[in-house]
Structure 1
Amino acid sequence: MGGKILIVDDVATNRIVLKVKLASAFYETVQASGGAEALRLARKMRPDLVLLDVELPDMSGIEVCEQLKADARTRDIPVVMITAFRDMARKMEALRAGAEEVFWKPLDEMVLLARLRSLLRARETAEQLGLRGSTYRELGFAEAAPSFGDQALVGLVAGRMEAALAWKRELQPYLSDRILVLDRETAMGDFPNGKVPDVFVVEANLTRPGEGLRLMSELRSRTGTRYSAVCVMLPAEACETAAVALDLGASDLIEAQADPAEMALRIRTQIARKRQSDRLRNSVADGLRLAMTDPLTGLHNRRYALPHLARIANRAQAAGRQFAVMVLDLDRFKSINDTWGHAAGDAVLIEVAARLKSNLRAVDLIARIGGEEFLIALPDTTLEAAQATAERLRRVVGERPVPLPKGTGSIPVTLSIGLALGAGQDSGSVEDLIGLADRALLGSKANGRNQIQIGRSAA
């Protein structure tokens, strides 16, 4: 996955050990020996995650965490705190300050790396949703976010009903939300009025080892519960289970011996994140409905595509990553309209748009920017991967003729593609990059059509 991680520890040996462990997992690291330096670097470099020691010479790590979470520039950066002291009060203080996790020393490398992967995945998803939402807001199409003021729903699933009931009794003094005790079958079934739990707390082993993790995977795969948070209740000394649970998609881990106050705090944190995620998804859904889209194909149009592409470029520049831009054009489209009529031309555009969209990632941008011309942007990609994607798109459009309305025949269609790469710190302007891809497209047409050409800048 990769990413940039800020290591904050006043002991140089500790920083070096963490740097080696993270480098072996292909993370880039930045180091700070104190709280003030950590705050300065976090604001300047915007790392993907902060590994923060609780005890620092100039200020408490908890104070650093509070300041990071209070600053709009850094509040969304996940913070994992590390301490040599098994002090539950300090752990709770760190979690209340906004830390996503607190680890005791010595660190279990397998669990640490799994937790980092989990947090970075969640942040990447939130960033992409937020990126789309901000584009809609700039265009003036986003509606006001709902308040989500109603009670949350928390579902408890344990191997024994008595254990789940005990969790409920312990949580009730700390949570004002509605708590349901569920068995495995009920958790997998239909909920009244379609209201599914915002958070599931699932015992890792239920009646058999690993059964809770299988249930979590099922919940993640179903439409109704896909976006619910899942906290896995771990047995003692279950490091391997913890790592597997995180890699399978657990939102958080709760140790079986955890204090009810900690358990409730982790659940409240997941409720807050679930609601933020719901707001982002609703904003995106509203934007998709309200923004000006191409009425024929349902794709975004040029008005949306250009500012969103600019955001992709800015994010790539800030992260030093690459992204790709393609301009695609249907070959001899005018002859389709002239020979078969405009209804046939519309059917071709609709089908081609569907084939293109179904062969792209959710984070990729696709827009119809002209009569038979499309724009595609691929964030976080390499030239080789972009070429492979372009070839796949060219193939899926050309390999099957497009059926005409009412079964009146079919039309063979091919696609020419111009591809250009934006390379992190030296991408040029978005307009320049589109122009480079467009000139490459003209080269594809001139060289016989139904092919891909890569635009090379004069520099």
Structure 2
Amino acid sequence: MAGKILIVDDVATNRIVLNVKLAAAYYETVQAATGAEALVLARQVRPDLVLLDVELPDMDGIVVCERLKADPATRDIPVVMITAFRDTARKMEALQAGAEEVFWKPLDEMVLLARLRSLLRARETAEQLGLRDSTYRELGLAEAPRDFAAKALVGLVAGQADTALAWKRALQAHLDDRILVLDRETALGNFAGGKVPDVFVVAADLARPGDGLRLMSDLRSRPATRYSSVCVMLPEKGREVAAVALDLGAADLLEQSADPAEMAIRLQTQITRKRQSDRLRASVADGLRLAMTDPLTGLHNRRYALPHLSRIAERAEAAGRQFAVMVLDLDRFKTINDTLGHAAGDAVLVEVAERLKSNLRAVDLIARIGGEEFLVALPDTTLEAARATAERLCRVVGARPVRLKDGASVQVTTSIGLALGGRGTRGVEDLIGLADTALRESKAEGRNQVTIRRSAARA
């Protein structure tokens, strides 16, 4: 499943229609007919997102949103509110209560699904931040969070400078942050010696229709602006542009006719998320500095990997999802050390570590846990996806020889043992043991291959 969504609507027909649409997109759903039921279910099932009707029989949907956002157990769950009344004031109330988005009925299915995908990607970043922080705390290596409370920088890019200046004048009454008008070339500059905008607002159409989306893709591909949020300003009839922009990575969509106060709320939300993302990357850097990595390869070491794997397992248990554990071992590595020397062996380990890391997701765990042994964990995966990842890792390790400093090269392959965990499985040590058993089978059956062992349920 792509994620678990709580549908809250007092009209059964509405819930059924939404359930059909979401099931077709491979989402799992749970349903509530009242605000009170929604609050209980949100705590019990911890959905990835809440679709919440504004008008409920027992309490105002906006009050439900406020309570969800005030509860530490549910405050990080994105809330999308739905209303049959085109009431701008109520929309503002919903956004101020913490809703990430508000849709009018009838729903535009294409834009709705694109928005859900976008919000779920953002939630993944927040969840990984929590996982990493809890791991560092358990290890006694947590530091106070870095202070990202300084004024943010918002960059505005429109087709005409006058248009961007009008946006700036409208936003200045609602934002305390710095606002900068940019043209396309300046936005793509290297910002040498200057602060990169935390959030860009880019018109979907610049010199030509769709130019803004191309600019967004360029911003997300460049090192200087890769981590900035990009909000797309939609043209008046921008239904298809909206869905494409979200799937290309837009953090949010702004309508030209929207109230400036609404735009400001949306930008503040993106600034907050940008700071969360900054903190996630900073926590990784702090972890490296605090010696939670293998000094040779730069990967996490066993001391970090095992507690973090426990966090992944706990999250999988709570959410009823699966995760995968792999143990990888380089084939005939001792021969490389014995014939070419330990410097050559170290060079091989460094290169293999880089190949493995570059072929995993940012949310995956990779660690060096022994001489030539690596551990990989894949959160929120399936057996098929984990198998495909393991086979890809096998291929990339052996795809080309490792070049050594003296100009020589050496061919390297790896054997992999894979085990799948989830709700009801044994502890992580047992799961690693299963993966290790599968690894030995890979070695015995000829090396350079993947063997899978299914985990056994807890007694």
Shorter-chain TM-score bucket reads over 0.9
CA drift of 1:32 comes to 0.6
What are the residue-to-residue correspondences of 1:286-365 with 2, within 5 Å? 286-365=286-365
Distance 1:388 1:230, change over 3 A: closer
Q: Secondary structure at the match of 1:328?
A: strand
What are the residue-to-residue correspondences of 1:159-170 with 2, within 5 Å? 159-170=159-170
CA drift of 1:399 comes to 4.3
May I ask how many residue pairs the two structures share in their alignment? Answer: 457
Give CA deviations for 1:348-396 in whole Å, capped at 9, x if unaligned: 3223222322332222222111122221112233323333332333333
Matched letter for residue 419 of structure 2:
A
Q: Secondary structure at the match of 2:406?
A: helix
The answer on whether the counterparts of 1:142 and 1:290 sit within 8 Å (CA) in structure 2 is no
Q: Distance in 1 between matches of 2:208 and 2:399?
A: 48
Question: What residue is the counterpart of 2:439 in the other structure?
Answer: 441
Distance 1:266 1:431, change over 3 A: same
Distance 1:346 1:229, change over 3 A: closer
Q: Distance in 1 between matches of 2:65 and 2:233?
A: 26
The answer on whether the counterparts of 1:6 and 1:29 sit within 8 Å (CA) in structure 2 is yes
The answer on whether the counterparts of 2:416 and 2:451 sit within 8 Å (CA) in structure 1 is yes
Matched letter for residue 428 of structure 2:
V
CA drift of 1:285 comes to 2.0
Matched letter for residue 421 of structure 1:
L
Matched letter for residue 386 of structure 1:
A
Q: Distance in 1 between matches of 2:77 and 2:23?
A: 20
The answer on whether the counterparts of 1:139 and 1:291 sit within 8 Å (CA) in structure 2 is no
Q: Distance in 1 between matches of 2:229 and 2:414?
A: 42
CA drift of 1:240 comes to 1.5
Q: Greater shift after overlay, 165-174 or 55-64?
A: 165-174
CA drift of 1:457 comes to 5.2
Question: What residue is the counterpart of 1:429 in the other structure?
Answer: 427
Distance 1:61 1:390, change over 3 A: same
Distance 1:97 1:458, change over 3 A: closer
Distance 1:163 1:429, change over 3 A: same
What are the residue-to-residue correspondences of 1:12-91 with 2, within 5 Å? 12-91=12-91
Question: What residue is the counterpart of 1:420 in the other structure?
Answer: 419
Gaps of 5+ in 1: none
Q: Secondary structure at the match of 1:150?
A: coil
Q: Distance in 2 between matches of 1:42 and 1:324?
A: 26
Question: What residue is the counterpart of 1:146 in the other structure?
Answer: 146
Q: Distance in 2 between matches of 1:452 and 1:117?
A: 32
What are the residue-to-residue correspondences of 1:91-102 with 2, within 5 Å? 91-102=91-102
Matched letter for residue 357 of structure 2:
K
The answer on whether the counterparts of 2:328 and 2:439 sit within 8 Å (CA) in structure 1 is yes
CA RMSD of aligned residues (A): 2.0
Matched letter for residue 436 of structure 2:
D
CA drift of 1:71 comes to 0.7
| TM-score when normalising by structure 1 | 0.94
The answer on whether the counterparts of 2:365 and 2:377 sit within 8 Å (CA) in structure 1 is yes
Matched letter for residue 162 of structure 2:
E
Distance 1:340 1:198, change over 3 A: closer
Matched letter for residue 441 of structure 1:
L
Distance 1:357 1:147, change over 3 A: closer
Distance 1:269 1:402, change over 3 A: closer
CA drift of 1:157 comes to 1.5
CA drift of 1:211 comes to 1.6
Question: What residue is the counterpart of 1:262 in the other structure?
Answer: 262
Q: Distance in 2 between matches of 1:356 and 1:276?
A: 26
